[in-house]
Amino acid sequence: MFVIITYDVNEKRVGKVCKKLREYLDWTQNSVFEGEITIGKYKQCMADLNNIVNKETDSVYVYQVKNPRNIKKIVHGREKNPLDLFL
């Protein structure tokens, strides 16, 4: 399936969440990741994230689209390069 994951977590945990998501998905921009992922990997990713975030204060939003053909992505303006993350 195709997923988009966005997060709003305490700055102390931003780095950990970002690093973990990079193991599973492609970074898009700011706190947004996307990509195709198997159900098994997705469950593993969510289990990993649950060990990092504070459920009382942090938020992780997941949008799932079973068939990637049902979602279309359009970039207006500058397309960020994944390397921007490290600059």
Closer residue to a second copy (CB): 29 or 44: 29
Binding mask 58-87 for a second copy (x = CB under 8 A): xxxxxxxxxx--xxxxxxxxxxx-------
CA distance 64 to 61: 10
The answer to whether 8 is a known ligand-binding residue is yes
By the rule CB under 8 A, 44 interacts with a second copy: no
The answer to whether residue 30 forms part of the interface with a second copy (CB under 8 A) is yes
Task: List residues near a second copy by CB under 8 A.
Answer: 4, 6-9, 28-32, 34, 46, 49-50, 53-67, 70-80
